[in-house]
A and B are shown apart, each in its own frame.
Chain A
Amino acid sequence: MTVEIRIQDDDSLMISGKFDLIDEDGNAYSHHGKLRLCRCGVSKTKPYCDNTHVEINFESKVRA
């Protein structure tokens, strides 16, 4: 099943589907569903989004 990675406007990456999040130590965490990953760089819970992008007025609207 193809995983969707949505580059949300002024917002996080929304990952939808079944995938593994793997850290640099090689530990794999299976996910099935939706997960938001930080792309503004300022989340206090990286790699996850904690909505800090709103406070810093993160702007990025990617278009194909």
Chain B
Amino acid sequence: MEQATIIPGDDGPYHVKGDFVLIDGEGNKLELTDETWLCRCGESTAKPFCTGSHSSCDFVDSSRAAQ
């Protein structure tokens, strides 16, 4: 599988693809997938996944990776 990539979308979620696993706060794996969108506005009702809530909470971030 391809190396994992994480794209912080402008004013939206993290788009994650490739070889990765999601692990909860107790160390258990979430459902396996090779592509997902993770909330980064803090307002999703189904965290860690994006539910589109960023559109209604005026989340703004289009900063660029710097390292």
**Which residues of A pack against B, CB within 8 Å?**
1-9, 13, 15, 17-25, 27-29, 37-42, 46-47, 58, 60-64
Say whether B5 faces chain A, with CB atoms less than 8 Å apart. yes
Q: How many B residues are at the interface, by size bracket?
A: 35 or more
Q: C-beta contact mask, B23-67 vs A, less than 8 Å → 1, else 0?
A: 111101111000000111111000110000000010101111101
Which B residues are within 8 Å of any A CB, using their own CB? Answer: 3-10, 14, 16, 18-26, 28-31, 38-43, 47-48, 57, 59, 61-65, 67
Contact A63 B24 (CB under 8 A): yes
Q: Are B24 and A24 in contact (CB under 8 A)?
A: no
Please classify the interface of chain A as helix (H, G, I), strand (E, B), loop, or mixed, using the class held by over half of its residues: loop
